[in-house]
């Protein structure tokens, strides 16, 4: 749906029960169900997108793939899938944030993996060390840009959220900021950037999916 992440089936059920309780004049039930429906629509709302052709951010910049708050930025991080000497940006996507996820750069999905494990509470101040990451529940997405630059994304489930829902598979392509899934009630998103990229955000910054520039290739600022 253009305005919501809720499926057509769920929307049909909501409308059906609202119409039924209204027809039967069950006012208390109708108002309760109406409040519940509006709450669902708020949480699962879809924000409007500005893809590359409409964006004010130059194409050489990598943009935020999610909405949330930057909890940490680390340099020279090694990852067992994405490589070594990377920059790691940890973003906590909160419960009230819009749930959408989008391509941080125009490119192709090169890899998609799932890892079973325990959940990680998004508000923990401590980070995840390399050995701890191997034991958390996550999905990992690798995207290769048009110029060969690779960005790794790790979506870690929170105890107070649901598993990430990704709509892409290896070989799929997308423009920068184009949606590829959503993260119901948020969680932790780890963004891994190549060493030749300069990170533009820092701890405490807020990110808007598809709009906030988070990194640029060294030597390029336009």
The pLDDT value recorded for residue 34 is 93
- Is 222 part of any domain? no
Indicate whether 34 and 90 sit together in one domain: no
Mean pLDDT of 103-130: 86
- Strand runs labelled E in the chain: 61-63, 68-79, 83-93, 100-102, 107-115, 138-145, 150-157, 165-166, 173-174, 179-182, 187-193, 197-199, 206-207, 213-217
The pLDDT value recorded for residue 51 is 61
CATH number at residue 204: 2.70.70.10
Domain hosting residue 20, numbered range: 8-43
Indicate whether 102 and 131 sit together in one domain: yes
The pLDDT value recorded for residue 57 is 76
Q: Write out pLDDT tens, residues 195-220.
A: 999 999 999 999 999 999 999 987 66
Indicate whether 171 and 68 sit together in one domain: yes
Indicate whether 108 and 199 sit together in one domain: yes
- Residues β-bridged to residue 72: 90
The pLDDT value recorded for residue 99 is 93
- Is 140 part of any domain? yes
Q: How far apart are CA 41 and CA 211, in angstroms?
A: 23
At 1, is the pLDDT very low, low, confident or very high (cuts 50, 70, 90)? Answer: low
Number of domains in the chain: 2
Q: Write out pLDDT tens, residues 35-84.
A: 999 999 899 988 876 665 556 677 789 999 999 999 999 999 999 999 99
């Amino acid at each position: 749906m253009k305005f919501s992440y809720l499926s057509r089936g769920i929307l049909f059920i909501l409308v059906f029960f609202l119409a039924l309780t209204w027809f039967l004049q069950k006012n208390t039930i109708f108002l309760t169900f109406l409040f519940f429906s509006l709450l669902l629509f708020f949480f699962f709302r879809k924000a409007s997108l500005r893809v590359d052709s409409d964006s004010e951010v130059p194409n050489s910049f990598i943009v935020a793939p999610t909405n949330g708050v930057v909890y940490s930025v680390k340099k020279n991080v090694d990852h067992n899938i994405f490589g070594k000497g990377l920059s790691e940006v940890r973003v906590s996507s909160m419960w009230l944030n819009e749930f959408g996820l989008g391509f941080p750069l125009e490119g192709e999905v090169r890899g998609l993996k799932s890892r079973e494990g325990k959940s990680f509470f998004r508000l923990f101040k401590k980070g995840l060390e390399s050995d701890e990451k191997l034991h958390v529940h996550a999905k990992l997405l690798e995207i290769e840009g048009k110029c060969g630059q690779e960005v790794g994304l790790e979506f870690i489930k929170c105890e107070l959220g649901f598993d990430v829902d990704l709509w892409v598979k290896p070989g799929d392509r997308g423009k920068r900021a184009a949606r590829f899934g959503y993260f119901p009630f948020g969680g932790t998103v780890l963004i891994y950037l190549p060493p030749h990229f300069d990170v533009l955000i820092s701890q405490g910054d807020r990110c808007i999916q598809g709009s906030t520039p988070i990194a640029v290739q060294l030597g390029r600022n336009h």
